[in-house]
A and B are shown apart, each in its own frame.
Chain A
Amino acid sequence: MTKKKMLFLGDEAVAQAAIDAGISGFYAYPGTPSTEIMEYAQGSKTAAERNIHRTWSANEKTAVEAAIGMSYAGKRSMAMMKHVGLNVAMDPFVNSGVTGANGGCIITVADDPSMHSSQDEQDSRILADFALLPILEPSNQQEAYDMVFYGYDISEKYKTPVFMRLTTRLSHSRANVETREPRPQNEIRLPEDKRQFVLLPAIAKKRYKRTLANQQLLLEESEKAPWNKYIDAPDKSLGIIACGLAYNYLMENFDGKPPYPVVKISQYPAPKCYVEKLARECEKILVLEEGMPMIERQLRGLLDRDVKVLGRMSGEIPRDGELNPNIVAEALGLKESIGLPVPELVAGRPPKLCAGCSHADFYAAFVDAIKNKYGDGHLFGDIGCYTLGALPPFQAVNSCLDMGASITMAKGAADSGIFPACAVIGDSTFTHSGMTGLLDAVIDKANIVVFISDNSTTGMTGGQKSHAEGRLFKIVTGLGVDPEHVRIVVPTKQNHDEMVKVITEEVEYNGVSVIIPQRECMQTLRRKTKAAKK
């Protein structure tokens, strides 16, 4: 057996493991902190040699569906996304718990506690629990690697998709990982029951009972999994449950040897036997988990009286935000170390649009044409670099709810009588979730102006290929927008006046207008120029 030590980001460890474990297709839409899984697969020579599918999907829903389609065919697949991407994919995700899998299927979701690069810090373990899927939550890069092999095994053994939860700190942290001998991909092998994936009520009812019955078996798997364990220690005044990454912060504080018994949880359903033992032997239980208090809630129950539980709900751990060694130290009553305070003169340095960014030239025109004329409050925003238009110097954007919401929120506002009602959305976000909303607007003849700020890339996540490239005009006219009111402009300083004029004209048109400020992202352009030089 060849054992190689590699330096991997958590995301890269997952990708390499999937390649080594015989995956046939990766499906994803970019989203921090999950993006690097696909990027690694795309850059992998082995993946190319093995002809593994690894191009981006239009959104997370299409990604999960394609992954399940590949599983139907008997091959191994993975869908990857950030936590809020899972919301987009909830329909196939939850129902996949009922259809089950055929070939091994892992759905990997990277959460972002502390919202380093996200709109919320939802804990996707709760959603996977809701979908009745087994959950793998690695505590380090090596576990992430090993768990992918294991995940495919239990996925195929129990015919269920498996959920893997990462968080920012693991996704974007590098460590040494020992890799394994690669194994072959599966051959095509249709499900024995050709109606397994047909969720007609009569079939779904049977499938659902199977899913429910599986839970006991998955619990038994969890109780013997190598990454779930009970680590005994003499001081029973406290017992500690440490989930995923929290285990590292605990060990950091005690140099690997906590004086209290510890239950390490990296696979769910939570290993009941260990938790039971801990509750029986210890006076109280401290729950350390990244994200929301899932285990803590389950442990407290509705009546919160049988076991004394400490954690996020009782204030020992802050209710929000990501964990770190210091928060854990404080919860354990250890003396917290801290260096010198940050000098007062240190100023905040928020992110901003890059010099020469096309979005900036669009905003400059928008401010002159709309904000300075009608006041602040007329621009519904979306998700991407251009959300930064909410901050100085433009302060032009009034919302950022979810992918695609700019168009539909503008429509709702226009329906209520707001004028002008405008939306700004990027090219990639538009093909992710904006198209259906635009169709609503066309059908209703809503009086809105939609700006598709087209920089021909998925910029915020590092310049991945955009599905919209070269297709925007056809898509919007195909959806029914009058071609006369689809205006393409080149956002530059020189074209400022022309842009203001176009915006002014389209605001005056009573109906759906789409203005496409179109100029390539500076970062993508720079990378392309650099690559061309080589």
Chain B
Amino acid sequence: MKCDMILAGVGGQGILSIATIFGYAAVESGLYLKQAEVHGMSQRGGDVQSHFRISDKPIYSDLVPMGKADLIISVEPMESLRYLPWLNPETGWLVTNANPLINIGNYPEQDALNAELNKLPRKIVIDGDAIAKEVNNPRGMNMVVAGAASLFVGLDFELIKKGITTIFGSKGEEIVKSNIDAIVAGREFAEKNR
């Protein structure tokens, strides 16, 4: 088993929480893991990305080779496209939040952006913000996207949920529940729309 992922978004959107939760499940499953994060300057509202690899065999490189990623997980649609050179063109899936975060003047037109996403044969474009609101977790967009992506990661979904319980446990039962609701809703959407 192996899953090479690129997590993408804009600084502050919470891509590392996705990595933490999947990481928990991977470690619980006895898998090897490598996750290269971005710290420092690029966090200031700039594009951020994380290379995230899990495997049942030892992993050498901290970086995913280009063209070899099984999955792009993005919390922002334009950012998901930035990493296409990494995605395996024959088998890779792209899972992205549909809602743009516009903090630059030359952000592309929505239609043009959708047209690019539509060209991809294997993708889930999910309105993470709307679904998060539906489950009463307006700040849980990243968990919704994580739920959709969980369908392609190859980790036991129960362990992913256990990860949420463990990681958000200190913040109280309510937060745990609302994040589990978000991740379940995201996964259900992906099951219906894959």
Contacts and interface: CB of A to CB of B under 8 A. Distances in A.
Interface stretch (B30-38, B138-146, B151-159, B177-185): B30-38
A350 interface: yes
B87 interface: yes
A245 B41 contact: no
Given A337-B66, A339-B69, A346-B81, A33 B103 contact: no
Contact of A462 (B39, B92, B104): B39
Interface in B17-45: 23, 27, 32-45
A177 to B, nearest CB: 11
Given A347-B107, A349-B10, A354-B45, A35 B67 contact: no
Nearest to A251: B60
Contact of B34 (A175, A253, A329, A385): A175
A374 to B, nearest CB: 27
Given A339-B88, A460-B40, A326 B27 contact: no
B66 A117 contact: no
Interface residues of A, number: 51
A336 interface: yes
A352 B84 contact: no
Residue among B38, B61, B69, B79 with max Cβ neighbours from chain A (10 Å): B61
A337 B62 contact: no
Contact of B27 (A116, A176, A324): A176
Interface in B45-71: 45-47, 51, 58-69
A342 interface: yes
Contacts of A437: none
Contacts of B11: 351
B41 A460 contact: yes
Contact of A116 (B35, B40, B61, B62): B40
B85 A336 contact: no
Residue among B44, B59, B60, B87 with max Cβ neighbours from chain A (10 Å): B60
B116 interface: yes
Residue among A7, A116, A174 with max Cβ neighbours from chain B (10 Å): A174
A325 B61 contact: yes
A336 B66 contact: yes
6 contacts: A36-B39, A174-B35, A340-B89, A345-B109, A354-B44, A388-B44
Given A117-B42, A339-B89, 18 more contacts: A245-B62, A248-B61, A249-B60, A249-B61, A325-B65, A336-B67, A337-B65, A337-B68, A339-B84, A339-B85, A342-B82, A345-B81, A347-B106, A349-B104, A351-B46, A352-B46, A352-B103, A388-B44
Closest 7 A-B residue pairs measured CB to CB? Answer: A337-B67, A32-B40, A117-B40, A351-B46, A351-B44, A325-B65, A252-B61
